Amino acid sequence: MIVEERKNITSSESHIRGSLLSYQLDTFGFYGRTEFKNICLEVYEEGMIRVRISRKEKFDNFHYALDNNLNQKSIDYLEKEDSIVISTGKVEVSIMKAPFRLVFRNEKGEIINEDDSSFGTSWIGEQVTTYKKLQPDEKFIGLGEKTGPLNKKGHGFQNWNTDHFGYGTNTDPLYCSIPFYMGIHNNMAYGIYLNNSYKTHFNFGASNNRFSSFSADAGDMDYFFMHYDSVNEIIGAYSRLTGKMSLPPKWSLGYQQCRYSYYPEAEVLNTAQNFRDKEIPADVIVLDIHYMEKYKIFTWDKERFPCPETMINKLKDLGFKVVVMCDPGIKVEEGYATYEDGLDKDVFIKYPDGTNYEGEVWPGWCHFPDFTKPETRNWWTEQLQSYSDLGIEGFWNDMNEIATWGQSLPELIEFDFDGAKGTTRNARNIYGLMMAKSTWEGAKENLNGKRPFNLTRAGFAGIQKYAAVWTGDNVASDEHMLLGMRMLNSMGLSGVPFAGFDAGGFIGNASENLFARWISMAAFTPFFRGHSNVNTKSSEPWTHGEHTEEISRNYISLRYRLMPYIYSAFQEASETGTPVNRSLAIDYTFDDNIYKTAYENEFLFGGSILVAPVSSEKEIEKIYFPQGEWYDLFTDEKYEGNNETLVECPMEKLPVFTKASAIIPVQSQVYSNQETPNEQLEIHLYKGEESNSYVYYEDDGDSYAFESGEYYKRSISYQPDKNKLTFGSTQGTFQSAFKEVKLYFHGFVTDELNSLAIDHEDYHFISPLSNFDPIATDLHKDYKIKDLAYTTFKLINNEFSINWK
C-alpha cells in the first residue's frame, strides 16, 4: 500500500513537470506528447488559438456550444532548441519543451498570458486544471451570470447550473454557466473560453497571489485563447466561436408584464386593458404555470382558460402578444397525452438500467426529455405545435437546470449526446442550452417565417443563439437591483446581448421608490419585464401609487420612443456580438476608475447613452464620467469626462447621459411595438469634438425577410472638424416607415449652425439659418421624460426637416 502511494505521488509530479517527448507540425496545427499528455494546438483566426490537452489517445468532441461555421487556419511556425513558436500575425505562442508549458505574446513580443512555470496543465484525479501566472495588476471580467464585483480578481467561481431561489448577492453557482472570461493588464486584453461542460472552477487569484486557474471535474482541457486589440473585438471573436444572437422580433423588445400567476382569463384581459386605459406602453402578457391543468405542460386549465384561442385573439386586438411558461417536467400520468406520446417515442432521460428517471417538481413525479437526443428535439417541435396553432409566438423555458425538489439530480443518469452518450456530470450544465435550442428551433419551424421569442433561465456558452436569458428568482432590494445591473453587464461581456432581470424584484415587496427606480433602470436593459412572486404585491406599474405609476409610464414611454435606437443596437449585436448593455470595461478598458465599487455598475446602453444605476434611497450620487464630454439626457447640461461629479437624482430622475457627438434616432410615442409611429423620425445630434458614425437599421420586425435583403440601413456621420452631418445612401430593399426626418441640435450655438453642412444624397443644405432659435425651452417639469424631444435647440419655428428617402 505504501509503495502504491509513492508511485502515485511520483506519477503526479512527472505529470506536472512533464516535458515534450515527441511532436509534429503540419499546415493546421501542432501535435505533441509528454509522458502523460496528448497535446494539440490549432489556429482558428488570427487572434484565436485552440489548446487541447488530454490523457486519452483521442480528444473529447464536445461541440454543442460551438458554432457550426468554425474553420481552422494554416499556421506559421519556427522550431527552436527550447521551444516551438507558432505565429498567427496577431499572437505568438511559444510551446516550451522542458517542462511543457505555453507562453502567449503579442506582435511586440510582450507577454499576454503564460502558464505557471511549474504547474501548467495538470490533473488531480479526474480533475484537470490549467494554471496561469498572474500578471501585474491583472483584472478579470466576464464569466456570465455571476455575482460579485465587475473585476473578479481575488474571487473564485463554479459553473454548475443550480436553481437558487432568492439567491444572495454573493451566491455561487446560479442558473447559467458561461465559462468565458477576459484578462486585462498592461494595456492588453485576452479572452479564454473553456470548452468543457463538466462542473468547472475558476480561480482569479483567490486565496493565493501566484496564479489564476480554470479546471474541469473531468474530461479534457480544451480552451480557446483569444487576443485582439480591444475587449469588444474579443467579445466579437467569442461570438463567432459560439454563435451570434438571432435578431429577435421587435415586439419582444417592448415591456413585458408577468405575474406568478395571472388567472383566470378575465384577469389576463383586465391587466392588458389597464395598460391601454392608463396609456402605459406594453407588448406582452406572460402566463406562468397556473395557465396549465395541474402544471402539466401543453395543457390548459379548462376552468381558468376555457377558450385560450379566443383570449389570445382578444389580446392581439389590444396589441399584446402572449408568452407561455414551458417547464421540462412531464408528469407521469396515464391518459396525459404528452406523457403517453413521450413514452411511446422513448424521449426521456434514463438510469443506467434503462428505466426512465423520475424527479418531483410542480406537477408531481415527472420524466424529463433528453434534449441531447435528436428524436427528442423532433418530438418537442411536435408538442410545441399546439401553442403555435393558437397564435402563441413567445416561449419561456424555466426550471431547466434541471430543477427538482431536493435539488440533487443523480449523477448516474444517462443522456444520449447525439449518440456519444454521457451522464448528468457533463449534461447538467448544458441541459438548459439544449432545451432552449429545441424550443427555439421547434418554434421557428412551427411559426412559418415568423421570428419566435425565446427566454430561458438556465444556459451555457452559446445560449445567445437560441434565447434571451433572465437572472432568475431575484429579491426586491436595492442590493439586488444594483447586483442585477452588474450581472446583465457581465452577460454582455460574455456574449449574451439579450438579457434582463425581474424588474421590481420577484421575491418580496418593493417600496414605491424601489419600484420606480428599478423600472426606470430596467427601461435601459435589453430584456424588459416586470414580474412578481405569488403572495407578493403585483408588479404592474399602477400598483405602487400614482406618483410611481407616472414615473413608470414616463420611462417605459421613453424606451418606446427610443426604439429605433434600441432596435439598431440589437441588429448590431446580431451582426457583431457587441452587446446592447455595454459595461464601461468595453470602451474604457484601461481606466481604473470604472472598476471601483462606486462606479462598476455604470454602463452604456447602445453606443451613446450612459446610465448610472443608483440606489432608490439616494437623491444625490457621485457619478464617474469616462473620457469625453457628456450631456444630461433630460436637461442638456454638459459634463466633462475623466471626472467624478455629484449629480442630483431624485426618484423621478435616473442619471442618464448622452455622449458628445452622439447621433440618436427617436420616434413618436406608440403604446406597442406592433403600432406604427408617425412618419417623422427625429434625429438628435450632440455637439462634440470627435467624429462619429451611426448605423440606423429598420426592417419589418417580425419575419426573416431581412435575411434576403429586405431591410433599410444607412450610415449617418458627423464630422465636427468640417462642421458636417452626412446621411449616407440606403442599403436594402425595405421601405422605411418614416418619410421625413426632423433634426435636433444639442449643445450648438448659432454661429456653428449657420455654417453646418447637411449632406443627404443629392440634397445639400448650407445656412445661413436666419430663423435659428437658440433658446431651449425646458418642458421637463417633474422630469416628464416623454417630453424628451422638446428640451433641445430648435431650427426654423422649432423644427427643421429633410426628406428621408
DSSP 154-182: T-EEEE-----TT--TT--S-SB---EEE
* Strands in 327-479 per DSSP E: 330-331, 359-361, 364-367, 394-397, 414-415, 422-423, 453-456, 468-470
CA distances 644 to 168, 593, 594, Å, are 30, 9, 11
Give the model's pLDDT for residue 751. 64
3-state secondary structure of 360: strand
Q: Is 292 helix (H, G, I), strand (E, B) or coil?
A: coil
Q: How far apart are the first and last CA of the chain?
A: 84
pLDDT band at residue 768 using 50, 70 and 90 as cut-offs:
very low
Please pick, among 115, 138, 145, 398, the residue that the annotation labels catalytic: 398
Mean pLDDT of 711-729: 91
Q: Is the pLDDT of residue 783 over 60?
A: no
Is the pLDDT assigned to residue 44 strictly greater than 70? Answer: yes
Q: Is the pLDDT of residue 14 over 50?
A: no
Res. 420: pLDDT tops 50: yes
The answer to which of 33-37, 327-331, 612-616, 621-625 has the lowest mean pLDDT is: 33-37
CB-based contact 387:322 (threshold 8 Å): no
- The C-alpha atoms of residue 263 and residue 261 are separated, in whole angstroms, by 6
Nearest to 776 by CA among 744, 804, 802, 801: 744
Q: What is the grid cell recorded at 800?
A: 427643421
563 Cβ contact list (under 8 Å, min separation 6): 250, 253, 254, 667, 670, 673
User: Hey, what's the cell of 737?
Assistant: 416607415
Residues 497-516, mean pLDDT to the nearest whole number: 97
pLDDT at 619: 95
Cell of 119: 504547474
Residue 740 neighbours by CB distance under 10 Å: 12
Give residue 790's pLDDT.
32
Asked if the model's pLDDT at residue 199 lies above 90, the reply is yes
Residue 95 has pLDDT above 60, yes or no: yes
User: Strands 680-686 and 740-746: what pairing?
Assistant: parallel
Candidates 145, 233, 301, 401; catalytic one: 401
Q: Which residues in the chain are classed under CATH 2.60.40.1180? A: 663-803
Q: Does 546 have pLDDT greater than 80?
A: yes
**If residue 371 lies in a helix (H) or strand (E), which one and from where to where?**
none
pTM of the shown model? 0.94
Share of the chain above pLDDT 70, in %: 91
What are the start-end ranges of the H helices in 26-123? none
Region(s) of the chain under CATH 2.60.40.1760: 2-242
Query: Which cell numbers in the block locate residue 542?
Result: 399602477
pLDDT the model gives residue 771:
37
Task: Report residue 750's pLDDT band, with 50, 70 and 90 as the boundaries.
Answer: low
Q: Identify whether 369 is preceded by a cis peptide bond (ω within 30 of 0).
A: no
More confident residue, 684 or 623: 623
The residue among 522, 789, 554, 792 whose CA lies nearest residue 668 is 789
Mark whether 288 is an active-site residue.
Answer: no
Residue 723 has what pLDDT?
85
Q: Average of pLDDT values for 583-603?
A: 98
Q: Report the CATH number of the 2-242 domain.
A: 2.60.40.1760
Nearest to 640 by CA among 654, 656, 625: 625
Average pLDDT over residues 648-666: 96
Average pLDDT for the chain: 91
Which of these is catalytic: 45, 327, 473, 502? Answer: 473
Task: Please give, one letter per residue, the 3-state secondary structure of 700-737.
Answer: CCCECHHHHCCCEEEEEEEECCCCEEEECCCECCCCCC
pLDDT band at 12; cut points 50, 70, 90: very low
In degrees, to the nearest 5, what angle opens at C-alpha 124 toward C-alphas 122 and 128?
50
Distance CA 643, CA 595 (A): 14
**How distant, in Å, are the alpha carbons of 12, 41, 115, 532 from that of 23?**
22, 11, 19, 59
Provide the pLDDT confidence category of residue 7 given band limits of 50, 70 and 90: very low
- Does the pLDDT at position 675 exceed 80? yes
| CATH of 663-803 given 3.40.50.720, 1.10.510.10, 1.20.1740.10, 2.60.40.1180 | 2.60.40.1180
Share of the chain above pLDDT 90, in %: 85
Does 401 qualify as catalytic in the annotation? yes
Residue 9 has pLDDT above 50, yes or no: no
Residue 473 bears catalytic tag: yes
> Which residues touch 203 (CB under 8 Å, ≥6 apart)?
156, 211, 212, 213, 214
